[in-house]
Structure 1
Amino acid sequence: MWRLYLLFLGFLLAGLNNVTPAETCGEGYGTSQGKCVDINECLEDNECGPNAYCSNTLGSYYCTCKPGFVSSIGQEKFNASYNVTCNDINECLDIKCGPNAYCNNTSGSYFCVCQSGFVASNREEKFKANQKVKCNELECNRLDSGSLSEQIPVALKQILIELKSTCMQKGVTGEEMLQILLEALESFLSKTPLTDTKIITALFEVVEKALPLVGQLLNQSSISQSLPHTRVEMLVQRRPTAPHGPFSLSSNDVQFNSHWETAVGNSYKGFASASLFQYQSLEIPHVRSSDNSDISSTKISADQFKLNSEVATIAVTNPNTMRLERPITLNFSHLQEAVRNITCVFWDSALEGGAWSTQGCSVVQSSTNYTICSCSHLSSFAVLMALYELENVFELQLITWFGLSLSLICLLICILTFWLVRSIQSTRTTIHLHLCISLFIADLIFLVGISQTENKVGCAVVAGLLHFFFLAVFCWMCLEGVQLFRMVVLVFNTTLSRAYLMAAGYGVPALIVIISASVNYRGYGTPRYCWLNLENNFIWSFFGPVCVIIVVNAVFFLITVSKLAQKFNSLNPDLNSLRKIKTFTITAIAQMCVLGTMWIFGCFQFDEGTLIMSYLFTILNSLQGVLVFIMHCLLSKQVRDEYIRFLTCVTTRQKRSYSEFSTNQSSKSQVSKSIQNTGESKI
């Protein structure tokens, strides 16, 4: 026991004196200032060997292979004393770099490279598989001049040859190709006058073909360059997922607004580019259509319009831009204040080698200094201004003013007739009265407000009122057909409740207008007229109900005519009533034909139709009131009799007044004569 006690006492004294016997430190520990401390085996050179990491632990250590290597014994951790080596892993056996790419193994790693003729979407020569990089074909063959006309200048073909040669060089950048394009075009535009449409078409095609390739090879995310004859703005997005949302490109004179969904298209290539290429001070003539040419009516003639903006070419990565789901908008600054008609156009190479066309483009908003265009495809665009007022506009306006003024007078006479003449009061007269009231208000609004497009809200209100009152005209016309049908079927003795008439004549149009405005309130008012917008088939909120009413009335009239024919064939004693209803029916059918035909021509008129359609619509529309007055008043014997009675009464009163005036004058004359005679006798 005493020995153990002495040993314990020795350890205690050694601890108090900070002295530890060397023989008490275990393996992997050493002494330092009398203490047992861990030995860091990893400080020794080549402890674990090449391609391995050494990790120290208390009293020991372990080795692990570097990423891309595996131990020869298959264990993750090992000791240097085991003579283990770290061997390279060939990642290319398991990793796939994707289509059009191949894998290169390196010591401890790997990298992917696009095949020859393909370019990485992130513009890096080497990339990893997990970066989701796509190798896209670099279509340098797009720059072949074979698709262009053989008559184009050699200078344009030379530009394509130089661009294609540069494109096929390894490691070329979009910045280099863009510089070559701009310098070549500067030289071309400064020397070559653009008088041939085939040359203009080829010029636009060169730019449209080159810009997507420049965007594919561009290292920068955006670029802007300006030269005396050209200016370019470009945006590029490079990311694993497709970009979305709106974007804008603008120069001093043109602003291009669109969405990245439009630039990408249906298949995302790992990048997307959008370009605005502006030709500064470019004069382009317009080809006049020949008499025997089979050219679309959307072609613009040189003798009618001139350029009033800079020309801009729009190009994106999406190859399918002939019909866009989302239209693009272009804001053009005018070269001079617009004092006449403005038109948005694009260059259509299919029209006799090239010409301006309005197909797919429309004016969204226009002022004296700028125009906003909306187009459903991509190409080269501009704004044209009429050299003079459109042909025959003055004649059409004169017809409109004269005809509508005459119609308003006739309709006012009709309203007074159906309202004040008691002898003709009936359900049918009530229908005529409200038909004339609706047509009177519609014509008055048309005359005053159809062209007041400056105030958008006011124009929309005018369009809504025209929509309502013209629909009311057709609804009252339909009620007339219903009333005639009831008169024939129910043997001449039937009336319709005034409440029902009002609900059908004014309630139905009001309901249609409310629903239409709720669905698309922006459809009321256009840049040209305060009428329904033709886009998205909104015009059918008017023509749809009109077509239904015309079909319903046609059915009623056919049945009515059939019944009348049966009654005339039979020995019906009430022949006079039958003849009256026959006259009423013929008049109503004539009225429906006139009004229906007018709006068939009106459909073409508001869609910028031909001159013949414009004249037909103007004449029929302006003389509606006159025709209604003739059909419902002058052709009605009962109304004519009332007019004759009224005129006779007025004439009788005038004669009586004249007679009384003459009698008074003669009596005065006689008195003066008697006085004179009396005076003479006295003398």
Structure 2
Amino acid sequence: MVVTSSSAAAADPSKLVSDGNRVLNAGEKLVSMLVKPTNTSDYVSFTLDTVEVKVFMVGPQVTLDKIPRLDTASSSMDIDLIDIAKNNNETRSAAVAFMSYTTMENLLKADFFNTTNDTIKTMMSTVISATLPKTSNTALTKPVKFTFRHIREFEPSGSLSCVYWNISEWIVDGCSVLNSNSSHTVCSCVHLSTFALIMQTSSSPPPSDLLELLNLVCVIVGLVFFSLALLSFALCQWSPGVNNVARINICISLLSAHLLLLLTQQFLSLIRPQQVLCVVIAGLLHFLFLSAFVWMFIEAVLLFICVKNLSQISSRKWEGPSGWFLCVIGYVVALVVVGVSVVTDPKGYDSKQCWIKYDKGFIWSFLGPVCVILALNMILFINIIITLNSSLKNLNVEVSQMKQTKIMVFKTLGQFVVLGCPWILGFFTNVNMVIYILFLVLNSQQGTFIFLIYCVLNNEIRQQYRKCFTSLCSGRQQQDHSINEK
């Protein structure tokens, strides 16, 4: 059957699937007829306009250690047929058929690869089929390797998937990409079926140079203010009772995450070929961003406890949990989530984009905890505001203490809105460019916001900045004066 791309494009998808399955079944029956009994080994090969067939057979007296690679014009297969034959106790024989269909992509289209994210799918190889005809025990002793030659130009920003045909759709279960370059990709599969190589690219146009420059500038500005905020938290003298542990660790987590993300984006072409390094970076980014959200939750809990204790008469001032205890919670919780995610799906991190894969729902290992923390923080802040309002009527609370607590509540609430809520825009970045730019700017300027709200808008810290600046200026003036005298 010869199918042109124009006729296939006009056909109904269910008709394409039906025709494709018929062609595959006919091909399997054809190669099954080519298998002949043999004591040692035998080989059959032929080529038609639309299919290329290789059949290799081994018998009980085979002298080969392994069969040669089965090659077609655009693909090849490595299979341990000798061990498969040994597992067939009765006949001690086995046969493998390898077929490459040159026009099958017009029937079994790349669009039949269903994914959760909206991407453009492109067939990067010919469709191949591998079976074990007239072999009683078809269990594989080790994974089969397929090498695909790319039939189209590879897009560096694209994501490659080794897929197999499952009656009506392409799926990836049991198959993975071992390595890839601009012209070839090697796949490993734990079963035999009909296979192909599909590339996914973003459905939105690639970012312009101006957008990349905006991203670079915004992230660098955010990193500068993250650093200034950390220096202020560490070096400035804060009022008694102010606990900056959560805030410092939020800055450390986000500063590390944004810096690592920036470096990864700038050197992605060098990092991507190192698949293990790319996966490690993805896991580390997962951990750092999650730990920032956990620290946001810890700060909300500490603030809630502080407000609850405002109206309680106590001779002993509540100091809260130690910084070491909070650090254990803040980082171990995120580490446990990442560890469980890795154990659940070891291939959940994308070795192409150095981030979490969107298919098979693995992205929810990040979005799930984030949504839970945002919801819990919202509940805590509602309770904080209600408790604070009732505490205003309590005469046991000092006015200065109440004022300081009110300021801290609204600053922390603002921090929650700016640091947490913009991530919700991440669900809609593919809608239009305006939302994408808004998401980019808000998330890159988190350090700027923390520095402004906690340092610049803090009168005591401003005075310390002023003293430091004055002393620096006076010191420079004295130095210039002494130089002039000489």
Into which bin does the TM-score normalised by the smaller protein fall? 0.5 to 0.7
Alpha-carbon offset, residue 410 of structure 1:
0.3
Indicate if the aligned counterparts of 1:411 and 1:436 stay in contact, CA closer than 8 A. yes
Instruction: Evaluate the alpha carbon distance shift between residue 371 and residue 611 of structure 1 in structure 2; reply closer, same or farther with a 3 A threshold.
Output: farther
- Provide the rounded CA distance (Å) in 2 between the counterparts of 1:495 and 1:532: 39
How many residue pairs were aligned?
A: 430
Aligned-pair CA distance for 1:418? 0.6
What's the secondary structure of 1:428's corresponding residue? coil
Query: Which residue of the partner structure matches residue 327 of structure 2?
Result: 502
Report the counterpart of residue 281 of structure 2 in structure 1.
462
Q: CA RMSD in A?
A: 5.2
1:250-282: CA deviations, max 9, x gaps?
53422468999xxxxxxxxxxx99865424499
Aligned to 2:63: none
The aligned residue for residue 418 of structure 2 is 594
Cα 1:509–1:296 shift into 2, 3 Å? closer
Residue correspondence of structure 1 range 155-170 to structure 2 within 5 A: none
Give SS of 2:257's match.
Answer: helix
Counterpart check, 1:367 vs 2:181 = yes
Q: CA shift at 1:412, angstroms?
A: 0.5
Asked whether 1:474 is paired with 2:293, we answer yes
Report the counterpart of residue 632 of structure 1 in structure 2: 454
Residue 579 (str. 1) matches residue 393 (str. 2): no
User: For residues 316 and 589 of structure 1, what CA distance do their matches in structure 2 show?
Assistant: 64
Where does 1:137-286 land on structure 2 (aligned, <5 Å)? 194-198=5-9, 201=16, 204=20, 207-214=23-30, 219-220=35-36, 223-227=44-48, 229-233=50-54, 251-255=72-76, 276-280=98-102
User: What is the distance in 1 between the residues matched to 2:390 and 2:79?
Assistant: 66
Residue 421 of structure 1 corresponds to which residue in structure 2? 236
* DSSP 3-state at the match of 1:231: strand
Distance 2:417 2:172 in 1: 34
Partners in 2 of 1:411 and 1:284 — Cα distance? Answer: 53
Please tell me whether Structure 1 or Structure 2 has the larger radius of gyration of its CA atoms: 1
Deviation at 1:408, TM superposition (A): 0.8
The structural deviation recorded for 1:406 is 0.9
Contact 2:282/2:356, CA 8 A, preserved across alignment: yes
Cα offset, 1:556, TM superposition: 2.6
Paired residues of 1:360 and 1:377 also in contact (CA < 8 A): no
| CA distance in structure 2 between the partners assigned to 1:329 and 1:596 by the alignment | 44
What corresponds to 1:400 in structure 2? 215
Q: 1:569 to 1:513 in 2, by over 3 A?
A: same
Number of the residue aligned with 1:526: 350
Q: Find the residue that maps to 2:296 and give its secondary structure.
A: helix
Closer, same or farther in 2 for the Cα pair 1:568/1:469, shift >3 Å? same
- The amino acid that maps onto 2:418 is V
CA contact (8 A) 1:340 1:385 kept: no
- Paired amino acid for 1:371: T
State the alpha-carbon separation in 1 of the partners of residues 406 and 77 from structure 2. Answer: 63
Deviation at 1:431, TM superposition (A): 2.3
Question: What's the TM-score, normalizing by structure 1?
Answer: 0.51
On the 8 A contact 1:208/1:315 being kept in 2, the answer is no
Return the offset for 1:409: 0.1
Confirm or deny that 1:563 pairs with 2:393.
no
Task: Note closer, same or farther for the CA distance 1:194–1:459 as it changes in structure 2 (3 Å cut).
Answer: closer
Assess if the C-alpha contact under 8 Å between 2:419 and 2:446 holds in 1. Answer: yes
CA distance in 2, matches of 1:206, 1:198: 18
Query: Which amino acid counterpart does residue 251 of structure 1 have in structure 2?
Result: T
| Alignment pair present for 1:412 and 2:412 | no
Per-residue deviation, 1:413: 0.4
Give the aligned partner of residue 438 of structure 1: 253
C-alpha change, 1:449 and 1:296, in structure 2 (3 Å) is closer
Structure 1 counterpart of 2:246, which letter? Answer: I
Inter-CA distance 603–588: structure 2 relative to 1 (3 Å threshold): same
Conserved 8 A contact 1:258-1:328: yes
Percent identical residues: 25
Distance in 1 of aligned mates of 2:422 and 2:185: 33
Tell me the distance in 1 between the aligned counterparts of 2:132 and 2:412.
58
Q: 1:521 to 1:296 in 2, by over 3 A?
A: closer
Matches of 1:447 and 1:515, distance apart in 2: 26
Structure having greater relative contact order (Cα 8 Å, sep ≥ 6)? 2
Q: Deviations over 1:94-152 (max 9, x none)?
A: xxxxxxxxxxxxxxxxxxxxxxxxxxxxxxxxxxxxxxxxxxxxxxxxxxxxxxxxxxx
Specify the SS of the correspondent of 1:392.
coil
1:432 maps to amino acid: R
Offset, 1:403 = 1.8
Matched residue type, 2:53: V
Give the equivalent residue in structure 2 for 1:334: 150
- Checking the alignment, whether the CA contact within 8 Å between 1:414 and 1:629 is kept in structure 2 is yes
Change (3 A) 1:286 1:575: farther
What SS does structure 2 have at the residue aligned with 1:422? coil
Partners of 1:345 and 1:456 in 2: how far apart?
16
Deviations 1:409-458 (A, max 9, x none): 00010011011111346552232222212221222112113632222332
Secondary structure of 1:416's counterpart equals: helix
The Cα of 1:604 is off from its aligned counterpart by: 7.6
The secondary structure found in structure 1 opposite 2:318 is coil
> 2:136 — aligned with what?
none
For residue 423 of structure 1, give the secondary structure of its aligned residue in structure 2: coil
Could you say if the C-alpha distance between residues 604 and 331 of structure 1 is closer, same or farther in structure 2, counting changes exceeding 3 Å?
farther
Q: Distance in 1 between matches of 2:301 and 2:146?
A: 51
Contact kept in structure 1, 2:230 and 2:248, CA below 8 Å:
yes
